[in-house]
Amino acid sequence: MQIRKGQGGDVQISARDLEVVDGAQLSASTFGFGNAGSVILEIEELAHFAGSSSGAFSRTDSDEEGQGGDVQISARNLEVVDGAQLSASTFGFGNAGNVILEIEELARFASVDPTGPSGAFSSINRNGVGQGGDVKISARNLEVLGGAVLSAVTFGLGDAGSVILEIEELARFAGVDPTNGNPSGAFSSIQESGKGIGGNVQIYATNLEILQDASLAANSLGVGSSGDIILVILEQLLVDDGTIATNAETASGGQVNIQAGHIVLRNDADIQTFVGRGEGSGGNITIAANFLIALEDSDILAFSADGRGGIIDLSRTTFFGQNPSISVSNLSRNELLDLDGNERVDINATGGIESGQIFVGDATFVENSLTALTDAIVDTSALTAGSCIARSQDSLGSFVVTGRDGLPATPGDGGISAYPTGTVRAVDEPSTTRIQEPDGVYQLPDGRLVLSRRCADSAAPSS
Protein backbone atom coordinates (compact mmCIF):
# COMPACT_ATOMS: atom_id res chain seq x y z
CA MET A 1 0.00 0.00 0.00
CA GLN A 2 1.61 3.30 -1.13
CA ILE A 3 0.21 6.71 -0.15
CA ARG A 4 1.22 10.04 -1.77
CA LYS A 5 -0.40 12.16 0.94
CA GLY A 6 -2.13 11.12 4.13
CA GLN A 7 -1.85 8.28 6.61
CA GLY A 8 -0.71 4.87 5.43
CA GLY A 9 -2.90 1.94 6.30
CA ASP A 10 -1.80 -1.30 7.94
CA VAL A 11 -1.26 -4.70 6.38
CA GLN A 12 -2.73 -7.34 8.70
CA ILE A 13 -2.66 -11.09 8.09
CA SER A 14 -3.82 -13.93 10.32
CA ALA A 15 -3.07 -17.44 9.10
CA ARG A 16 -1.88 -20.89 10.09
CA ASP A 17 1.25 -20.69 7.89
CA LEU A 18 2.75 -17.90 5.78
CA GLU A 19 5.23 -18.02 2.91
CA VAL A 20 6.68 -14.89 1.29
CA VAL A 21 9.20 -16.02 -1.35
CA ASP A 22 10.79 -15.24 -4.72
CA GLY A 23 10.69 -11.46 -4.38
CA ALA A 24 7.19 -11.19 -2.88
CA GLN A 25 6.70 -8.33 -0.41
CA LEU A 26 4.34 -7.22 2.31
CA SER A 27 4.62 -3.41 2.44
CA ALA A 28 2.94 -0.56 4.30
CA SER A 29 4.74 2.60 3.12
CA THR A 30 4.16 6.25 2.36
CA PHE A 31 5.72 8.09 -0.60
CA GLY A 32 4.26 11.46 0.34
CA PHE A 33 3.38 13.43 3.45
CA GLY A 34 2.00 11.23 6.18
CA ASN A 35 2.81 8.35 8.44
CA ALA A 36 3.52 4.92 7.07
CA GLY A 37 1.37 2.03 8.14
CA SER A 38 2.45 -1.13 9.93
CA VAL A 39 2.73 -4.74 8.83
CA ILE A 40 1.07 -6.96 11.44
CA LEU A 41 1.25 -10.74 11.02
CA GLU A 42 -0.30 -13.30 13.38
CA ILE A 43 0.78 -16.78 12.30
CA GLU A 44 -0.09 -19.95 14.24
CA GLU A 45 2.80 -22.09 12.96
CA LEU A 46 5.56 -21.08 10.49
CA ALA A 47 6.24 -17.65 8.97
CA HIS A 48 8.72 -18.24 6.13
CA PHE A 49 10.48 -15.46 4.16
CA ALA A 50 12.98 -16.46 1.47
CA GLY A 51 14.76 -14.93 -1.50
CA SER A 52 16.11 -11.62 -2.75
CA SER A 53 13.80 -8.63 -2.17
CA SER A 54 11.32 -10.81 -0.30
CA GLY A 55 10.13 -9.63 3.08
CA ALA A 56 7.95 -7.30 5.11
CA PHE A 57 8.53 -3.53 4.94
CA SER A 58 7.32 -0.26 6.43
CA ARG A 59 9.00 2.93 5.16
CA THR A 60 8.65 6.63 4.56
CA ASP A 61 10.03 7.94 1.27
CA SER A 62 12.81 10.42 0.56
CA ASP A 63 12.23 14.17 1.13
CA GLU A 64 8.81 13.56 2.69
CA GLU A 65 7.62 13.85 6.26
CA GLY A 66 5.99 11.20 8.40
CA GLN A 67 6.54 8.56 11.05
CA GLY A 68 7.57 5.08 10.04
CA GLY A 69 5.36 2.15 10.90
CA ASP A 70 6.28 -1.11 12.61
CA VAL A 71 6.78 -4.64 11.37
CA GLN A 72 5.18 -6.94 13.94
CA ILE A 73 5.17 -10.72 13.65
CA SER A 74 3.94 -13.32 16.11
CA ALA A 75 4.39 -16.99 15.18
CA ARG A 76 5.45 -20.36 16.51
CA ASN A 77 8.51 -20.44 14.23
CA LEU A 78 10.11 -17.80 12.00
CA GLU A 79 12.53 -18.28 9.09
CA VAL A 80 14.16 -15.40 7.20
CA VAL A 81 16.65 -16.82 4.70
CA ASP A 82 18.43 -16.33 1.36
CA GLY A 83 18.43 -12.53 1.43
CA ALA A 84 14.89 -11.93 2.71
CA GLN A 85 14.47 -8.99 5.09
CA LEU A 86 12.15 -7.53 7.71
CA SER A 87 12.62 -3.77 7.66
CA ALA A 88 11.23 -0.58 9.21
CA SER A 89 12.96 2.52 7.80
CA THR A 90 12.76 6.18 6.94
CA PHE A 91 14.27 7.96 3.96
CA GLY A 92 12.64 11.28 4.83
CA PHE A 93 11.76 13.34 7.89
CA GLY A 94 10.40 11.23 10.71
CA ASN A 95 11.25 8.46 13.08
CA ALA A 96 11.82 4.94 11.83
CA GLY A 97 9.51 2.22 13.05
CA ASN A 98 10.35 -0.86 15.06
CA VAL A 99 10.71 -4.51 14.10
CA ILE A 100 8.99 -6.55 16.81
CA LEU A 101 9.11 -10.35 16.62
CA GLU A 102 7.41 -12.58 19.20
CA ILE A 103 8.27 -16.18 18.42
CA GLU A 104 7.27 -19.15 20.58
CA GLU A 105 10.01 -21.54 19.45
CA LEU A 106 12.82 -20.82 16.93
CA ALA A 107 13.61 -17.54 15.17
CA ARG A 108 16.11 -18.32 12.41
CA PHE A 109 17.96 -15.87 10.15
CA ALA A 110 20.38 -17.48 7.72
CA SER A 111 22.44 -16.96 4.55
CA VAL A 112 22.67 -14.08 2.11
CA ASP A 113 21.82 -13.05 -1.43
CA PRO A 114 23.95 -10.99 -3.87
CA THR A 115 21.72 -8.01 -3.05
CA GLY A 116 22.30 -8.23 0.70
CA PRO A 117 22.04 -10.29 3.85
CA SER A 118 19.01 -11.85 5.44
CA GLY A 119 17.96 -10.12 8.61
CA ALA A 120 15.85 -7.68 10.58
CA PHE A 121 16.54 -3.95 10.22
CA SER A 122 15.44 -0.61 11.56
CA SER A 123 17.19 2.29 9.84
CA ILE A 124 17.42 5.99 9.13
CA ASN A 125 18.77 6.06 5.62
CA ARG A 126 20.97 8.67 3.94
CA ASN A 127 19.28 12.12 3.95
CA GLY A 128 16.81 10.84 6.54
CA VAL A 129 16.19 12.78 9.76
CA GLY A 130 14.67 11.18 12.85
CA GLN A 131 15.14 8.68 15.63
CA GLY A 132 15.97 5.11 14.76
CA GLY A 133 13.65 2.33 15.77
CA ASP A 134 14.49 -0.84 17.68
CA VAL A 135 14.78 -4.46 16.63
CA LYS A 136 13.12 -6.50 19.37
CA ILE A 137 12.99 -10.29 19.34
CA SER A 138 11.63 -12.65 21.97
CA ALA A 139 11.91 -16.40 21.31
CA ARG A 140 12.79 -19.72 22.90
CA ASN A 141 15.84 -20.07 20.62
CA LEU A 142 17.54 -17.73 18.14
CA GLU A 143 19.92 -18.50 15.26
CA VAL A 144 21.72 -15.86 13.17
CA LEU A 145 23.93 -17.68 10.67
CA GLY A 146 25.95 -17.38 7.48
CA GLY A 147 26.13 -13.58 7.24
CA ALA A 148 22.62 -12.79 8.46
CA VAL A 149 22.31 -9.70 10.67
CA LEU A 150 20.08 -7.96 13.17
CA SER A 151 20.71 -4.23 12.78
CA ALA A 152 19.58 -0.84 14.07
CA VAL A 153 21.48 1.77 12.05
CA THR A 154 21.47 5.40 10.97
CA PHE A 155 23.04 6.72 7.77
CA GLY A 156 21.41 10.11 8.28
CA LEU A 157 20.76 12.49 11.16
CA GLY A 158 19.45 10.96 14.35
CA ASP A 159 20.20 8.46 17.07
CA ALA A 160 20.32 4.81 16.15
CA GLY A 161 17.91 2.36 17.71
CA SER A 162 18.82 -0.68 19.78
CA VAL A 163 18.81 -4.42 19.19
CA ILE A 164 17.05 -6.07 22.14
CA LEU A 165 16.91 -9.87 22.34
CA GLU A 166 15.12 -11.88 25.03
CA ILE A 167 15.85 -15.57 24.48
CA GLU A 168 14.65 -18.28 26.86
CA GLU A 169 17.30 -20.87 26.00
CA LEU A 170 20.06 -20.48 23.38
CA ALA A 171 21.03 -17.52 21.19
CA ARG A 172 23.59 -18.56 18.57
CA PHE A 173 25.50 -16.29 16.15
CA ALA A 174 27.82 -18.07 13.71
CA GLY A 175 29.63 -17.56 10.41
CA VAL A 176 30.19 -14.82 7.85
CA ASP A 177 28.81 -13.68 4.51
CA PRO A 178 30.68 -15.90 2.03
CA THR A 179 30.62 -13.17 -0.64
CA ASN A 180 32.40 -10.44 1.34
CA GLY A 181 33.39 -11.84 4.74
CA ASN A 182 31.02 -9.59 6.72
CA PRO A 183 30.13 -11.25 10.01
CA SER A 184 26.84 -12.56 11.20
CA GLY A 185 25.71 -10.75 14.29
CA ALA A 186 23.72 -8.09 16.08
CA PHE A 187 24.68 -4.46 15.45
CA SER A 188 23.72 -0.94 16.40
CA SER A 189 25.65 1.69 14.48
CA ILE A 190 26.12 5.23 13.25
CA GLN A 191 27.58 4.96 9.74
CA GLU A 192 30.14 7.35 8.23
CA SER A 193 27.46 9.63 6.78
CA GLY A 194 25.47 9.62 10.02
CA LYS A 195 25.35 11.88 13.03
CA GLY A 196 23.86 10.83 16.34
CA ILE A 197 24.25 8.58 19.36
CA GLY A 198 24.59 4.87 18.80
CA GLY A 199 22.05 2.48 20.26
CA ASN A 200 22.69 -0.56 22.42
CA VAL A 201 22.91 -4.28 21.80
CA GLN A 202 21.13 -5.99 24.69
CA ILE A 203 20.81 -9.75 25.04
CA TYR A 204 19.10 -11.66 27.83
CA ALA A 205 19.42 -15.44 27.46
CA THR A 206 20.18 -18.67 29.26
CA ASN A 207 23.09 -19.45 26.92
CA LEU A 208 24.83 -17.34 24.27
CA GLU A 209 27.26 -18.54 21.58
CA ILE A 210 29.30 -16.30 19.25
CA LEU A 211 31.17 -18.53 16.81
CA GLN A 212 33.18 -18.58 13.57
CA ASP A 213 33.91 -14.83 13.21
CA ALA A 214 30.41 -13.74 14.24
CA SER A 215 30.15 -10.46 16.14
CA LEU A 216 28.14 -8.34 18.53
CA ALA A 217 29.01 -4.69 17.97
CA ALA A 218 27.91 -1.16 18.82
CA ASN A 219 29.70 1.18 16.39
CA SER A 220 29.97 4.85 15.57
CA LEU A 221 31.85 5.50 12.34
CA GLY A 222 30.35 8.97 11.97
CA VAL A 223 29.83 11.81 14.43
CA GLY A 224 28.69 10.65 17.87
CA SER A 225 29.43 8.17 20.61
CA SER A 226 28.84 4.47 20.14
CA GLY A 227 26.26 2.61 22.17
CA ASP A 228 26.79 -0.08 24.78
CA ILE A 229 26.72 -3.86 24.76
CA ILE A 230 24.77 -5.35 27.65
CA LEU A 231 24.69 -9.12 28.10
CA VAL A 232 22.86 -10.96 30.88
CA ILE A 233 23.44 -14.70 30.44
CA LEU A 234 22.20 -17.08 33.12
CA GLU A 235 24.53 -19.97 32.29
CA GLN A 236 27.30 -20.04 29.65
CA LEU A 237 28.66 -17.34 27.37
CA LEU A 238 30.87 -19.02 24.75
CA VAL A 239 32.90 -16.89 22.34
CA ASP A 240 34.84 -19.11 19.95
CA ASP A 241 36.63 -17.13 17.20
CA GLY A 242 34.10 -14.33 17.67
CA THR A 243 34.04 -10.72 18.82
CA ILE A 244 32.17 -8.53 21.31
CA ALA A 245 33.09 -4.91 20.63
CA THR A 246 32.20 -1.26 20.77
CA ASN A 247 33.97 1.02 18.28
CA ALA A 248 33.94 4.80 17.98
CA GLU A 249 35.95 6.51 15.29
CA THR A 250 36.12 9.98 16.85
CA ALA A 251 33.95 10.07 20.00
CA SER A 252 33.87 8.22 23.31
CA GLY A 253 33.67 4.46 23.22
CA GLY A 254 30.71 2.50 24.43
CA GLN A 255 30.66 0.22 27.44
CA VAL A 256 30.67 -3.58 27.54
CA ASN A 257 28.78 -4.95 30.54
CA ILE A 258 28.53 -8.72 30.92
CA GLN A 259 26.86 -10.80 33.63
CA ALA A 260 27.03 -14.55 33.13
CA GLY A 261 27.16 -17.84 34.96
CA HIS A 262 30.53 -18.53 33.34
CA ILE A 263 32.44 -17.30 30.29
CA VAL A 264 34.72 -19.18 27.90
CA LEU A 265 36.85 -17.36 25.28
CA ARG A 266 38.57 -19.54 22.68
CA ASN A 267 40.43 -19.37 19.35
CA ASP A 268 41.22 -15.66 19.14
CA ALA A 269 37.98 -14.51 20.73
CA ASP A 270 38.03 -10.80 21.64
CA ILE A 271 36.16 -8.48 23.98
CA GLN A 272 37.16 -4.90 23.23
CA THR A 273 36.29 -1.22 23.27
CA PHE A 274 38.09 0.92 20.69
CA VAL A 275 38.36 4.64 19.98
CA GLY A 276 40.21 5.31 16.72
CA ARG A 277 41.11 8.99 17.12
CA GLY A 278 40.27 12.05 19.16
CA GLU A 279 40.35 12.58 22.90
CA GLY A 280 37.37 10.41 23.69
CA SER A 281 37.95 7.85 26.43
CA GLY A 282 37.95 4.18 25.70
CA GLY A 283 34.85 2.39 26.86
CA ASN A 284 34.88 0.38 30.07
CA ILE A 285 34.61 -3.41 30.19
CA THR A 286 32.89 -4.86 33.25
CA ILE A 287 32.48 -8.60 33.66
CA ALA A 288 30.77 -10.44 36.52
CA ALA A 289 30.76 -14.26 36.38
CA ASN A 290 31.61 -17.30 38.48
CA PHE A 291 34.70 -17.74 36.31
CA LEU A 292 36.20 -16.58 33.02
CA ILE A 293 38.48 -18.87 31.01
CA ALA A 294 40.49 -17.29 28.16
CA LEU A 295 42.49 -19.53 25.84
CA GLU A 296 44.29 -19.54 22.48
CA ASP A 297 45.16 -15.87 21.92
CA SER A 298 41.85 -14.47 23.16
CA ASP A 299 42.15 -10.83 24.32
CA ILE A 300 40.32 -8.23 26.43
CA LEU A 301 41.23 -4.68 25.35
CA ALA A 302 40.04 -1.14 26.16
CA PHE A 303 41.87 1.20 23.78
CA SER A 304 41.81 4.90 23.01
CA ALA A 305 44.36 6.13 20.46
CA ASP A 306 44.47 9.75 21.64
CA GLY A 307 42.50 9.74 24.90
CA ARG A 308 42.41 7.72 28.09
CA GLY A 309 42.16 3.97 28.03
CA GLY A 310 39.07 2.38 29.45
CA ILE A 311 38.70 0.52 32.72
CA ILE A 312 38.73 -3.28 32.62
CA ASP A 313 37.01 -4.65 35.72
CA LEU A 314 37.32 -8.40 36.24
CA SER A 315 37.20 -8.13 40.02
CA ARG A 316 33.85 -9.96 40.20
CA THR A 317 35.01 -13.06 38.38
CA THR A 318 37.74 -15.65 38.79
CA PHE A 319 40.02 -15.26 35.78
CA PHE A 320 42.05 -18.07 34.23
CA GLY A 321 44.16 -17.24 31.17
CA GLN A 322 46.55 -19.17 28.95
CA ASN A 323 49.92 -17.37 29.02
CA PRO A 324 48.22 -14.21 30.29
CA SER A 325 49.76 -10.76 29.89
CA ILE A 326 48.03 -8.10 31.99
CA SER A 327 49.37 -4.64 31.21
CA VAL A 328 48.42 -0.96 31.39
CA SER A 329 51.46 0.12 29.36
CA ASN A 330 50.72 2.47 26.47
CA LEU A 331 50.84 0.90 23.03
CA SER A 332 50.54 2.43 19.60
CA ARG A 333 47.72 1.35 17.31
CA ASN A 334 50.10 -0.93 15.40
CA GLU A 335 51.50 -2.40 18.61
CA LEU A 336 47.98 -3.07 19.78
CA LEU A 337 47.13 -4.82 16.52
CA ASP A 338 50.25 -6.94 16.97
CA LEU A 339 48.72 -8.43 20.11
CA ASP A 340 46.55 -10.45 17.79
CA GLY A 341 48.35 -13.66 16.91
CA ASN A 342 50.99 -13.56 19.66
CA GLU A 343 49.74 -16.77 21.28
CA ARG A 344 49.04 -14.96 24.56
CA VAL A 345 45.92 -13.86 26.37
CA ASP A 346 46.33 -10.07 26.57
CA ILE A 347 44.44 -7.76 28.90
CA ASN A 348 45.37 -4.18 28.03
CA ALA A 349 43.90 -0.72 28.69
CA THR A 350 46.10 1.48 26.51
CA GLY A 351 45.37 5.19 26.12
CA GLY A 352 47.20 7.89 24.15
CA ILE A 353 47.05 10.29 27.11
CA GLU A 354 46.86 7.81 29.95
CA SER A 355 46.23 4.12 30.31
CA GLY A 356 43.13 2.92 32.02
CA GLN A 357 42.95 0.71 35.08
CA ILE A 358 42.69 -3.07 35.22
CA PHE A 359 41.16 -4.95 38.14
CA VAL A 360 41.50 -8.73 38.24
CA GLY A 361 39.93 -11.01 40.85
CA ASP A 362 42.13 -13.13 43.12
CA ALA A 363 42.42 -16.73 41.86
CA THR A 364 45.21 -17.82 44.22
CA PHE A 365 42.72 -19.68 46.41
CA VAL A 366 42.31 -22.09 43.50
CA GLU A 367 45.95 -22.13 42.39
CA ASN A 368 47.24 -22.84 45.91
CA SER A 369 44.78 -25.67 46.43
CA LEU A 370 46.04 -27.72 43.50
CA THR A 371 48.12 -30.82 44.30
CA ALA A 372 50.74 -32.07 41.89
CA LEU A 373 50.06 -35.56 40.59
CA THR A 374 52.68 -38.27 41.21
CA ASP A 375 54.76 -39.49 38.32
CA ALA A 376 54.33 -43.10 39.48
CA ILE A 377 52.21 -45.26 37.22
CA VAL A 378 49.37 -46.95 39.09
CA ASP A 379 49.50 -50.75 39.10
CA THR A 380 45.86 -51.58 38.49
CA SER A 381 46.43 -55.24 39.46
CA ALA A 382 47.08 -54.07 43.02
CA LEU A 383 43.60 -52.62 43.13
CA THR A 384 41.91 -55.92 42.25
CA ALA A 385 41.95 -59.03 44.43
CA GLY A 386 42.92 -62.24 42.67
CA SER A 387 40.45 -64.29 44.73
CA CYS A 388 37.19 -63.90 46.54
CA ILE A 389 36.99 -62.33 49.98
CA ALA A 390 36.20 -64.44 53.11
CA ARG A 391 36.63 -63.92 56.82
CA SER A 392 39.97 -65.10 58.21
CA GLN A 393 40.28 -67.58 61.10
CA ASP A 394 43.13 -65.53 62.49
CA SER A 395 42.19 -63.73 65.66
CA LEU A 396 42.54 -60.00 65.25
CA GLY A 397 41.06 -59.19 68.66
CA SER A 398 38.82 -60.47 71.43
CA PHE A 399 35.28 -59.99 72.67
CA VAL A 400 34.63 -60.53 76.38
CA VAL A 401 31.16 -61.14 77.83
CA THR A 402 30.78 -60.08 81.47
CA GLY A 403 27.96 -60.05 83.95
CA ARG A 404 25.47 -57.32 84.50
CA ASP A 405 26.83 -56.39 87.97
CA GLY A 406 23.65 -57.21 89.86
CA LEU A 407 21.15 -59.79 91.10
CA PRO A 408 18.02 -60.71 89.18
CA ALA A 409 15.23 -58.22 89.79
CA THR A 410 12.82 -61.01 90.93
CA PRO A 411 13.16 -64.69 91.65
CA GLY A 412 12.92 -66.72 88.51
CA ASP A 413 14.48 -64.17 86.22
CA GLY A 414 16.88 -65.61 83.70
CA GLY A 415 20.55 -65.40 84.17
CA ILE A 416 23.02 -63.56 82.11
CA SER A 417 22.31 -63.98 78.40
CA ALA A 418 25.24 -65.39 76.50
CA TYR A 419 26.40 -63.60 73.42
CA PRO A 420 26.61 -66.24 70.70
CA THR A 421 30.08 -66.57 69.24
CA GLY A 422 31.61 -68.98 66.82
CA THR A 423 34.25 -69.43 64.27
CA VAL A 424 33.98 -68.69 60.58
CA ARG A 425 35.16 -71.70 58.64
CA ALA A 426 37.87 -71.38 56.07
CA VAL A 427 36.81 -71.60 52.46
CA ASP A 428 38.82 -73.55 49.99
CA GLU A 429 38.84 -71.52 46.80
CA PRO A 430 38.57 -73.81 43.78
CA SER A 431 41.05 -73.17 41.05
CA THR A 432 39.41 -71.55 38.06
CA THR A 433 40.34 -69.30 35.21
CA ARG A 434 36.86 -67.86 34.76
CA ILE A 435 36.75 -64.09 35.20
CA GLN A 436 34.12 -63.03 37.70
CA GLU A 437 32.83 -59.52 38.09
CA PRO A 438 33.58 -57.77 41.43
CA ASP A 439 30.58 -57.01 43.58
CA GLY A 440 32.12 -54.39 45.85
CA VAL A 441 35.09 -52.68 47.45
CA TYR A 442 36.59 -54.50 50.47
CA GLN A 443 39.11 -53.41 53.09
CA LEU A 444 41.96 -55.79 53.88
CA PRO A 445 43.50 -56.11 57.35
CA ASP A 446 46.37 -53.84 56.34
CA GLY A 447 43.88 -51.09 55.41
CA ARG A 448 44.13 -51.42 51.62
CA LEU A 449 40.98 -51.26 49.52
CA VAL A 450 40.47 -53.75 46.71
CA LEU A 451 37.81 -54.65 44.19
CA SER A 452 36.60 -58.23 44.68
CA ARG A 453 33.61 -60.48 45.28
CA ARG A 454 32.32 -62.33 48.31
CA CYS A 455 33.09 -66.04 48.43
CA ALA A 456 30.09 -68.32 48.00
CA ASP A 457 28.51 -69.54 51.28
CA SER A 458 30.74 -67.24 53.32
CA ALA A 459 29.58 -64.71 55.83
CA ALA A 460 29.24 -61.20 54.57
CA PRO A 461 32.64 -59.48 54.87
CA SER A 462 33.27 -56.11 56.35
CA SER A 463 33.30 -53.37 53.69
Taking only the tens place, the pLDDT of each residue in 357-390 is: 999 987 766 666 666 777 777 666 666 666 676 6
Would you say 32 and 62 are in contact if contact means Cβ atoms under 8 Å apart? no
Q: Specify the pLDDT at position 442.
A: 76
Taking 70 as the threshold, does the pLDDT of residue 54 lie above it? Answer: yes
Tell me the whole-structure pTM to 2 decimals. Answer: 0.78
Domain ranges across the chain? 2-363, 384-390+434-463
pLDDT tens column, 231-288: 999 999 999 999 999 988 777 778 999 999 999 999 999 999 988 776 666 789 999 9
Q: Specify the pLDDT at position 8.
A: 65
Q: Specify the pLDDT at position 262.
A: 97
Task: Using alpha carbons, list the distances in angstroms from residue 42 to 1, 3, 59, 103, 426.
Answer: 19, 24, 20, 10, 82
Q: What is the residue-averaged pLDDT of the chain?
A: 83
Neighbouring-strand partners of residue 385? none
Q: Specify the pLDDT at position 463.
A: 44
Kindly state the average pLDDT of the residues 33-41.
85
Angle made by CA atoms 445, 449, 454, in degrees to the nearest 5: 80
Q: Specify the pLDDT at position 7.
A: 66
Would you say 214 and 184 are in contact if contact means Cβ atoms under 8 Å apart? yes
Kindly state the average pLDDT of the residues 449-455.
77
pLDDT tens column, 320-366: 999 898 877 777 667 766 777 788 899 988 877 777 899 998 776 66
Quick one: DSSP state of residue 179? Answer: T
Which H or E run contains 100?
strand 99-103
pLDDT tens column, 402-451: 555 555 656 655 555 555 555 545 556 555 556 667 777 777 777 777 77
- Over pLDDT 90: what percentage of the chain? 47
Rounded CA separation 424/459 (Å): 8
Q: Specify the pLDDT at position 118.
A: 96
Would you say 169 and 137 are in contact if contact means Cβ atoms under 8 Å apart? no
Q: Specify the pLDDT at position 462.
A: 47
Task: Using alpha carbons, list the distances in angstroms from residue 122 to 146, 157, 160, 186.
Answer: 20, 14, 9, 12
Rounded CA separation 94/128 (Å): 8
